[in-house]
Chain A
Amino acid sequence: GAVVSQHPSRVICKSGTSVKIECRSLDFQATTMFWYRQFPKQSLMLMATSNEGSKATYEQGVEKDKFLINHASLTLSTLTVTSAHPEDSSFYICSASDPRISQFFGPGTRLTVL
Chain B
Amino acid sequence: SQQGEEDPQALSIQEGENATMNCSYKTSINNLQWYRQNSGRGLVHLILIRSNEREKHSGRLRVTLDTSKKSSSLLITASRAADTASYFCATDVTGANSKLTFGKGITLSVRP
A contact set with B: CB distance below 8 Å: 1, 6, 32, 34, 36, 42-46, 49, 91, 93, 95, 97-99, 101-108, 110
Interface of A is mostly: strand
Q: Which residues of B contact A1 (CB under 8 A)?
A: 45
Asked if residues B41 and A108 are in contact (CB atoms below 8 Å), the reply is: yes
Q: Is the CB of A108 within 8 A of B42?
A: yes
> How many angstroms from the CA of A42 to the CA of B86 in the assembled complex?
10
A3 to B48, CA, bound (A): 18
Cα A32 to Cα B97 in complex, Å, equals 9
- Chain B residues with CB under 8 Å of A101's CB are 97
> Are A102's CB and B102's CB within 8 A?
no
Give how many B residues have a beta carbon under 8 Å from the other chain's beta carbons: 19
Distance of B65 from chain A, by nearest CB (Å): 17
Can you list 9 pairs linking A and B with CB atoms under 8 Å apart?
A32-B97, A34-B99, A42-B104, A43-B88, A46-B101, A49-B99, A93-B43, A99-B97, A105-B44
Contact B45 A99 (CB under 8 A): no
Q: Are B40 and A91 in contact (CB under 8 A)?
A: yes
Nearest 10 pairs between A and B by C-beta?
A97-B97, A107-B42, A105-B43, A44-B102, A43-B102, A108-B42, A43-B104, A105-B42, A103-B97, A43-B105
Chain A hits for B2, CB < 8 A: 43
* Residue pair B99, A105 in contact (C-beta under 8 Å): no
Neighbouring A residues of B97 by C-beta, 8 Å: 32, 97-99, 101-103
A42 partner residues in chain B, CB cutoff 8 A: 104-105
Residue numbers in B under 8 Å from A34 (CB-CB): 99-100
Q: How far is the CA of A102 from the CA of B18 in the complex (A)?
A: 28
Closest to A91 in B: B40
Enumerate chain A residues within 8 angstroms of B103, measured Cβ to Cβ: 43
The one of A49, A97, A98, A106 that contacts B42, using a Cβ cutoff of 8 Å? A106
Residues of A near B101 (CB, < 8 A) are 46
Which residue on B lies nearest to A57, using beta carbons?
B99
